[in-house]
Amino acid sequence: MLLASPAMAVSVSPYATGNVSVGSGTTLRNEFRQNVDGSGYYWKTFGSADCTTTTSDVDDSWADTSSHSGGWDNSASWAVDYNQCDTRLSRYANFSTELTSGWTNYGSGASLAAINDLTSSYKLS
Amino acid sequence: MRRTGVGSAVAIVTALLLSGCLSTGGGRSEPAISVHTITSSSQIQLPLARFGTTPADQEAMFAAINIEQRDCARRFGVISTIPMTTDQLTEVQSDTVRRYGVINAGEVARYGYDLPPSADGSDSKSGPGAWNPTVREAEVLEGHDASGQPVQLRAADGTRLPAGGCGLEGTRVVWGGKQGPQNDILVGTLLGDAWAETMADSRAQAVAAKWSACMASHGYDFKHRWDAGNSVATKDQATKIAMAKLDLSCALKTNYTGVWYAVDSAYQQRLINAHEGELTAAMDQYHQMMARVHRILQGAQ
């Protein structure tokens, strides 16, 4: 697990080693891909239903992508959220150092631009 | 798009048949492949696809789950407005379109590396169909309050609100237990395994080298096809579209997608043979779930 202050060097490991599905249910809430062109391994989050219109609650979260046996720390370069969910990405585990200001709707196939390969935790609402 | 002699040659459907397996010297055998020219994602039919949930079955499953979620909520005194999940790409669909990089020229010219709006999960919270439950409904359906703490509620008959609320309970009823059919999970895992095998395959690496040479002739130094997209991640959209168009033109000239699809398909078939028992068991679970789905839908009519 990477627990780093912003001043620490980031342990970059942009090479996921397998597809990962997390969460309970069948409704796809978000998807990360290894590469900006959408190729490579995926990380998918599933829930029991669409996200609600409010962002005052968190519908799903993952505090440390490196804790999963897929090599997924700092590996996401492309993200989409689905079914009314919005996203908050963090550079470090446990939602430390958010990469965007507030909730973002990655419903447009947005590549992660300046935060390429720098996501270690995330929330969905 | 500029075409070259090589591009014209691969425009004709060609087949390269290699009989038997190739040994790469490291004890790794490479399966025979049959290569065809691929210029559209609609030409890609992954061998593992037949073990994945179909779009029609997925729609039916979501309808049945929605019925059960609302029935559950009613037992806890709530008339639920929870929407049925719709238009969700299946496991196989979502892993087909971009498996080998961008491929559809019309989409690339307009959207570059981004997905077209029809496939991107466009989902504004203010759009039609967005779910805006009351506090009580949200607690019953989600099983927790706004701070994430589990809520303790009982139905009129004394039944406790299940973990995960009625949202997850509806899913469990359709699954027939705490765990759903494993077919999509197994398909996802095997698609990942096939991808790893494909990346290490000598034929896939050879065509990747040809693609690299094509990109080098335009002044770019990329080893892997995905390096092109990743190199413009922080650039403006016009730059990304220009790179995506060049990336695709080199892929078409070298039939990169055709070769990777052929190699990937061969490894998928090998994995299917190796995991036949697991896949059969998962499909049995899937068919049992679909029978349950149809009973629920018929009962609701």
Structure tokens at A64: 């440390």
Whether ipTM tops 0.90, in short, is no
- Please tell me the least confidently modeled range out of A3-7, A79-83, B14-18, B262-266: A3-7
Q: B265, B228, B273, B274: which is closest to B250 by C-alpha? A: B228
Checking if the pLDDT of B162 tops 70, the result is yes
Q: Does B125 touch chain A (CB under 8 A)?
A: yes
Select the residue of A54, A81, A113 nearest B233 (Cβ to Cβ).
A113
Checking if the pLDDT of B124 tops 90, the result is no
- pLDDT, mean of residues B251-268: 98
Confidence of residue A112 (pLDDT cuts 50, 70, 90): low
C-alpha distance from B121 to closest chain A C-alpha (Å)? 5
Q: How far apart are CA B181 and CA B96, in angstroms?
A: 21
Q: How many CA within 13 A on the CB side of residue B219?
A: 1
Domains, in order of start, for chain A: 20-124 (2.60.20.10)
Cβ contact B133:B165 at 8 Å? no
Confidence of residue A6 (pLDDT cuts 50, 70, 90): very low
- The residue with greater pLDDT, A83 or B3, is A83
pTM more than 0.90: no
C-alpha distance from A97 to closest chain B C-alpha (Å)? 19
Question: How does the average pLDDT of chain A come out, rounded?
Answer: 79
What digits encode the pLDDT tens for the residues B176-226?
999 999 999 999 999 999 999 999 999 999 999 999 999 999 999 999 999
Select the residue of B100, B125, B240 nearest A86 (Cβ to Cβ).
B125
Centre a 10 Å sphere on the Cβ of residue B206 and count the other Cβ atoms it contains.
12
Report in angstroms the alpha-carbon separations of A3 from A11, A68, A92, B268, B294.
10, 15, 7, 38, 48
Report pLDDT for A72: 83
